Chain A
Amino acid sequence: RKEVEQDPGPFNVPEGATVAFNCTYSNSASQSFFWYRQDCRKEPKLLMSVYSSGNEDGRFTAQLNRASQYISLLIRDSKLSDSATYLCVVAEDETTDSWGKLQFGAGTQVVVTP
C-alpha cells in the first residue's frame, strides 16, 4: 500500500467551475500536510499547508480529516492557469516541530478548459 494515494485524474474542469479532490495517507501519526503544485516538466512549488481546522487561500481551500486520514483540495472559479498536477504531501513527523520525511503522492492532474 502506498503511503500517500491520489486519484491521478485528469480532472477536466470548465473555466469558472469548482473542482475538488482528495488524497489518503496511511500514517495516522503524521502531523504536517501540504499541497504542492507542479507544472509540466517543472519543479514542485508549495501551494499551501493544511491545518487541522482547514484553511483557505484565495480560491483554494484545504481540509484535513484525521479520523478518515485524508486531505482535500478545492479550487473555486477555476482559471486556465490552474492547470497543473497537484501533489499531496504528508510528513512522517511525530510532533509539529520534529523532522519527518515528506511522503509525496503521485499527483492529481487538473486540466481547466475554456
Chain B
Amino acid sequence: DGGITQSPKYLFRKEGQNVTLSCEQNLNHDAMYWYRQDPGQGLRLIYYSQIVNDFQKGDIAEGYSVSREKKESFPLTVTSAQKNPTAFYLCASSLTGISYNEQFFGPGTRLTVL
C-alpha cells in the first residue's frame, strides 16, 4: 500500500536531549513537509523540501533541523534549542510543491518533553 509513515507514534524526551522523528513515503512524491500542531492552533510549517537534497525553513524552524538525502525520507531532528517542543508533529508529502497538489499526511508523532 502506498502511503506515508511516521515513527515513533509517541516519544518522550528529557530536557536537553535531541530527538529525531522519522518520516517515510512511498508515493514517489517530490515535496515533503513538517508541521507542528498545538491545541487550539492551526498547523504551522517547520521545514519543507520541494526536491531531494534541497529544503527551506518554514515559519517556525528555530530549534529544528532536517535532511533530504533520499526522495522517500525526510527526518526531523528536534534539538535542545527548541524551547517548547511538546506538540503533535505531522509529516506530509505532495506530488510536487505546487499549491493545488493535495498534501497527504502521516499519522503523526506526539512528542512530550519530561
A interface list, Cβ under 8 A from B: 2, 4, 8, 31-32, 41-46, 49, 87, 91, 93, 96-107
Contact = CB atoms under 8 A, between A and B. Distances in A.
A94 to B, nearest CB: 10
Given A43-B90, A43-B107, A45-B105, A93 B99 contact: yes
Contacts of B40: 8, 106
Interface of B: 35, 40-45, 48, 50, 58-59, 88, 90, 97-100, 102-103, 105-108
B103 to A, nearest CB: 7
A46 B98 contact: no
A49 B106 CA distance: 20
A43 B102 CA distance: 14
B105 A49 contact: no
B58 A104 contact: no
Contacts, number: 57
Main SS class of interface, B: loop
A99 B108 CA distance: 24
Given A99-B50, A103-B42, A106-B42, A32 B107 contact: no
Contacts of B99: 31-32, 91, 93, 96, 98-100, 102
